[in-house]
Structure 1
Amino acid sequence: MKQYFFLFFSNVLIDNFILVRFLGLCPFIGVSNNIKNATGMSLATSFVVILSSSILWLINYYILVPYNLIYLRIISYILIIAVIVQFLELFLRKMSPLLYRILGIFLPLITTNCAVLAIPLFSLYLNYTFLESIFYGLSASFGYTFIMIIFSSIRERVTVSDVPFIFQGAPIALITISLMSISFMGFQGVIKY
């Protein structure tokens, strides 16, 4: 139980995929204009990450490794992630057309989000079991969602603040991301492995 707590704590604060490993920055910057968009994108990405982590672990250990097809790992991972995203896109189009329109181009881009591919690959290279792999995906998704919501809250506040003209728009967003990243990198000394 203690191991799962440290894994969760580590993925949320210490080894956060956005602010420390710098993965998944495109949707992070593109959709974080407001909390509603950030929450929708985070939940969609989290769903894909958790589902793909479990499916890809099974495919790796029951198909790719036994049949010595390890060289097909990344291609098969991307293919399965694309199928999961297609199902998610069809589901959102049917059940929540507003969220589907808000997410726009970023929904199909979940397929090429490097964090979505990196999380199952990291759990594979860390030799996690099936449950650890799912928990790794869950905790990394929670960390992704946590940072998206925090950043979108800050970004909403900054848009109504008196920011000098030269810093308005992308510069203040990048400065904010930098400061957030520095603060989260400060957690790296908290847990010794």
Structure 2
Amino acid sequence: MEHVELFFKSIFIDNMVFATFLGMCSYLAVSKKVSTAIGLGAAVIFVLGITVPLNWLLDQYILQEGALAWLGPEFASYDLSFLSFIMFIATIATMVQLVEIVVEKFSPALYNSLGIFLPLIAVNCAILGGSLFMQSREIASLGLAFNYGVSSGIGWFLAILAIAAIREKIRYSSVPAPLRGLGITFIITGLMAIGFMSFGGMLTGGDDAVAKEDSAVEVKIEEEKENKTIADNTAQLIQ
């Protein structure tokens, strides 16, 4: 159940583009055609699916305070968390280089259409954000880290695929001159973000969750009243 919840929340509620607006540079630049958007989105899924689990292993067994205890008691006090950014980016750059080699080998047309934005995945803030969010949310297992990486990549893929499909259609629409290009794209992105936010109530319990929270507050208030009554009675008996 935890895996399913994390999967859908990462795609719809905590979407990299619509919730945190990460990776907007390539999202805007490579979303003019659906074909290139699919290629870049698939590359992002692959890179996130590989780098988030790898960086989880680095964080758990090398970077965290006390993570080096497996080397011996004398290393238990070491804290290498200040190296997180460097290590995470090095892992990401390595995987992006691998993706670039594979795409160039098997799909030269896609490689040429993506251009500079394929190697720029290495500095895509959505990729680094996946590893940093994994670290800050204290994901507990390698399986959950892989789940989070893949689902975050799928969320980014859906975002760029949707905006690419819309941008292909609005080329033939009568858009007001001041809004053509990035203007209408930003407006559509904002509207899509509002739409994705509507999934929050569906995936987090909605009214049931609110009702449970209200009932818990009421129970706490009743307990405080009872404790106050007992304290008052005790004070009167002492007097």
Q: Classify the TM-score, shorter chain.
A: over 0.9
Distance in 2 (CA, whole Å) between partners of 1:183 and 1:63 is: 40
Report the 3-state secondary structure (helix = DSSP H, G, I; strand = E; otherwise coil) of the residue aligned with 1:22: coil
Report deviation, 1:87: 1.4
Question: Which residue in 2 is equivalent to 1:41?
Answer: 40
Report the 3-state secondary structure (helix = DSSP H, G, I; strand = E; otherwise coil) of the residue aligned with 1:111: helix
Report the 3-state secondary structure (helix = DSSP H, G, I; strand = E; otherwise coil) of the residue aligned with 2:15: coil
Report deviation, 1:160: 1.4
Percentage identity across paired residues of the two chains: 36
Distance in 2 (CA, whole Å) between partners of 1:79 and 1:14 is: 29
Question: Which residue in 1 is equivalent to 2:81?
Answer: 70
Report the 3-state secondary structure (helix = DSSP H, G, I; strand = E; otherwise coil) of the residue aligned with 2:19: coil
Question: Which residue in 2 is equivalent to 1:143?
Answer: 155
2:94 to 73, 76, 83: 83
Structure 1 stretch displaced more, 6-15 or 180-189: 180-189
Question: Which residue in 2 is equivalent to 1:99?
Answer: 110
Alignment RMSD: 1.3
Question: Which residue in 2 is equivalent to 1:159?
Answer: 171
Which amino acid in 2 is paired with 1:21? T
Question: Which residue in 1 is equivalent to 2:181?
Answer: 169
Report deviation, 1:40: 0.4
Distance in 1 (CA, whole Å) between partners of 2:11 and 2:99 is: 24
Q: Summarize deviations over 1:50-97 as a string: whole Å, max 9, x none.
A: 110111111222222324211101111001111111111122122211
Question: Which residue in 1 is equivalent to 2:234?
Answer: none
Distance in 1 (CA, whole Å) between partners of 2:181 and 2:204 is: 38
Distance in 1 (CA, whole Å) between partners of 2:31 and 2:52 is: 24
Distance in 2 (CA, whole Å) between partners of 1:13 and 1:61 is: 27
Using the size of structure 2 for normalisation, the TM-score is 0.77
Report the 3-state secondary structure (helix = DSSP H, G, I; strand = E; otherwise coil) of the residue aligned with 2:203: coil
Distance in 1 (CA, whole Å) between partners of 2:16 and 2:188 is: 17
Report deviation, 1:144: 1.0
Report the 3-state secondary structure (helix = DSSP H, G, I; strand = E; otherwise coil) of the residue aligned with 1:160: coil
Using the size of structure 1 for normalisation, the TM-score is 0.94
Q: Summarize deviations over 1:147-169 as a string: whole Å, max 9, x none.
A: 11111111111111121222211
Higher-Rg member (1/2):
2
1:28 aligns with 2:27: yes
Distance in 2 (CA, whole Å) between partners of 1:104 and 1:77 is: 24
1:184 aligns with 2:196: yes
Report deviation, 1:136: 0.6
Report the 3-state secondary structure (helix = DSSP H, G, I; strand = E; otherwise coil) of the residue aligned with 1:182: helix
Number of equivalent positions = 192
Which amino acid in 1 is paired with 2:179? F
Report the 3-state secondary structure (helix = DSSP H, G, I; strand = E; otherwise coil) of the residue aligned with 2:20: coil
Which amino acid in 1 is paired with 2:127? V
Which amino acid in 2 is paired with 1:54? P
Distance in 2 (CA, whole Å) between partners of 1:106 and 1:59 is: 27
Instruction: List, as ranges, runs of 4+ consecutive aligned residues in structure 1 with deviation greater than 4 Å.
Output: none
Question: Which residue in 2 is equivalent to 1:108?
Answer: 119
Report deviation, 1:48: 0.7
Structure 1 stretch displaced more, 120-129 or 27-36: 120-129
Which amino acid in 2 is paired with 1:11? S
Greater length-normalized contact order (CA 8 Å, ≥ 6 residues apart): 1
